[in-house]
């Protein structure tokens, strides 16, 4: 009997896990594949919702897990966490000895896992490479592309950038975003049920607020989020559901400011399907989360995107880009509710990030791709 092909997947945050969850489910359906899930990062932090429990509730077995964070909310702390992540990945991969390592997006954990996997001669499959954004995330994303061997960009423009980086076109597969696969199965999540669960008034406009630190603008996070908070205070009719920042440098000061707001419903973590359900019934998303760019168009949900964190990322017409400026943010919010031309454009928005069939495309390739030496013996091709 032919041995199963072992796929090791590392997840480090509540942000990357939903983007790969449909792929993990599809792997588990295949008799020829074996999933080995490695869990680290903020998944293991009680202060960030201990989202490892979501992974376990979703029915996935965890093959390895390890802590990487100390109590240091600074760039130095991020660098130390990356080093611990590389160390933990080395032990996990030695134990699992996978055939392929599957990595997602552009996190510090992704970079650490990629360098370890490459040094240990494991083929790396990377989901959502080739995209353009601001901050350190873009540098990490492109570095992971150069360490990876199988590329799963979400969009044609991302695939073109990977090609320009000298990657072999045979190994670049435009597949869409796997998180979009989940969106078609949300009918059971009604606004009334979600309102009971998350304690908001369903008769008022719901605003989803997520703002992360920009690592290349370290030290400005509290000032930046205060501008957004002051803008939202001008709209007392809103029900504001705020989700904790990620644990990047400066994240904890943002979280502390969110928790001080008496008019916010603030949560460390929200189950990924619930979060999509909230997007489905919300009136506005505001902040700098990629969810406003990637998933919100599927719900025709307006997004006021603030600052440089998503700079350059492909976006649909639901997105209104503004700087960290009270007047600009306030005007953008008013435009969402009052501008008839914007509302008309919103009606015809199509999500450029996928059609809901990404996971099958990805796993078909993982199941059948030739893993012989030429795959990992990379050469730049032009």
Those residues whose C-beta lies under 8 Å from the C-beta of residue 111, and which sit 6 or more positions away, are: 82, 140, 143, 144
Query: pTM of the full predicted structure?
Result: 0.85
pLDDT at residue 191 in the model: 92
pLDDT at residue 133 in the model: 85
Q: Which residues of 271-302 are buried (b: 16+ CB within 10 A; e: fewer)?
A: bbbbbbbbbbbbebbbbbbbbbbbbbbbbbbb
* Helix orientation angle between 326-338 and 221-232, rounded to the nearest 10 degrees: 40
Longest dimension (CA), the chain: 67
pLDDT at residue 271 in the model: 86
Which tokens is 25 given? 């489910």
- Scanning the structure block, which residue is given the tokens 């920042």? 245
- Encode the chain in three state secondary structure: CCCCEEEEEEECCCCHHHHHHHHHHHHHHCCCEEEEEEECHHHHCHHHCCCHHHHHHCCCCEEEECCCCCCCCCHHHHHHHHHHHHHHHHHHHHHHCCCEEEEECCCHHHHHHHHHHHHCCCCEEEECCCCCCCHHHHHHHHHHHHHCCEEECCCHHHHHHHHHCCCCHHHECCCCCHHHHHHHHCCCCCHHHHHHHHCCCCCCCEEEEECCCCHHHCCCHHHHHHHHHHHHCCCCCCEEEEECCCCCCCHHHHHHHHHCCCCEEEECCCCHHHHHHHHHHCCEEEECCCHHHHCHHHHCCCEEEECCCCCCCCCCCCEEEECCCHHHHHHHHHHHHHCHHHHHHHHCCCCCCCCCCHHHHHHHHHHHCCCCHHHHCCCCCC
Question: Phi first, then psi: what are they for 115, rounded to 5°?
Answer: -65, -40
The answer to whether 109 and 68 are in contact (CB under 8 A) is yes
pLDDT tens, per residue, the chain with 382 residues: 678 999 999 999 888 998 999 999 999 999 999 999 999 999 998 887 888 999 999 999 999 999 999 888 888 999 999 999 999 999 999 999 999 999 999 989 999 999 999 999 999 999 999 999 877 889 999 999 999 999 999 999 999 999 999 999 999 999 999 989 988 777 778 899 999 999 999 999 999 999 998 888 888 888 999 999 999 999 999 999 999 988 887 888 889 899 999 889 999 989 888 999 999 999 999 999 999 999 999 999 999 999 999 988 899 999 999 999 999 999 999 999 999 999 999 999 999 998 889 999 999 999 999 998 789 888 888 7
Please, what are the domains in the chain?
5-177+354-376 (3.40.50.2000), 185-347 (3.40.50.2000)
Cα 264–chain centre separation? 23
- Scanning the structure block, which residue is given the tokens 């201990």? 50
Question: Phi first, then psi: what are they for 5, rounded to 5°?
Answer: -80, 125
């Amino acid at each position: 009997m032919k041995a199963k092909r072992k796929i090791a997947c590392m997840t480090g945050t509540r942000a990357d896990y939903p983007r790969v969850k449909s792929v993990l489910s599809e792997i588990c359906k295949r008799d020829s594949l074996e999933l080995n899930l490695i869990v680290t990062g903020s998944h293991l932090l009680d202060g960030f919702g201990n989202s490892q429990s979501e992974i376990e509730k979703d029915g996935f077995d965890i093959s390895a897990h390890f802590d990487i964070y100390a109590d240091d909310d600074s760039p130095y702390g991020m660098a130390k966490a990356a080093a611990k992540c590389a160390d933990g990945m080395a032990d996990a991969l030695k134990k699992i000895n996978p055939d392929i390592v599957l990595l997602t997006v552009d996190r510090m954990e992704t970079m650490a896992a990629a360098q370890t996997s490459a040094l240990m001669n494991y083929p790396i499959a990377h989901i959502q490479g080739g995209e353009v954004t601001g901050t350190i995330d873009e540098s990490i994303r492109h570095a992971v592309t150069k360490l990876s061997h199988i590329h799963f960009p979400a969009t044609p423009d991302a695939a073109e950038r990977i090609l320009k980086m000298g990657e072999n076109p045979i190994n670049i597969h435009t597949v869409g975003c796997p998180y979009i696969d989940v969106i078609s199965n949300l009918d059971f999540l009604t606004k009334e049920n979600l309102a009971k669960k998350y304690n908001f008034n369903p008769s008022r406009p719901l605003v989803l607020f997520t703002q992360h630190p920009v690592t290349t603008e370290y030290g400005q996070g509290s000032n930046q989020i205060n501008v957004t908070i002051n803008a939202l205070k001008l709209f007392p009719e809103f029900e504001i559901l705020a989700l904790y920042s990620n644990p990047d440098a400066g994240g904890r000061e943002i979280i502390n400011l969110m928790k001080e707001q008496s008019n916010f419903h603030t949560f460390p973590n929200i189950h990924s399907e619930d979060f999509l359900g909230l997007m489905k019934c919300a009136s506005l998303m505001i902040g700098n989360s990629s969810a406003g760019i990637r998933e919100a168009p599927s719900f025709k949900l307006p997004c006021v995107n603030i600052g440089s964190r998503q700079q350059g990322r492909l976006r649909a017409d639901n997105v209104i880009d503004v700087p960290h400026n009270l007047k600009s943010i306030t005007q953008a919010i008013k435009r969402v509710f009052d501008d008839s031309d914007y509302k008309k454009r919103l009606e015809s928005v199509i999500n450029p990030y996928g059609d809901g069939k990404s996971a099958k495309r990805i796993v078909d390739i993982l199941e059948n791709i030739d893993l012989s030496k030429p795959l990992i013996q990379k050469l730049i091709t032009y």
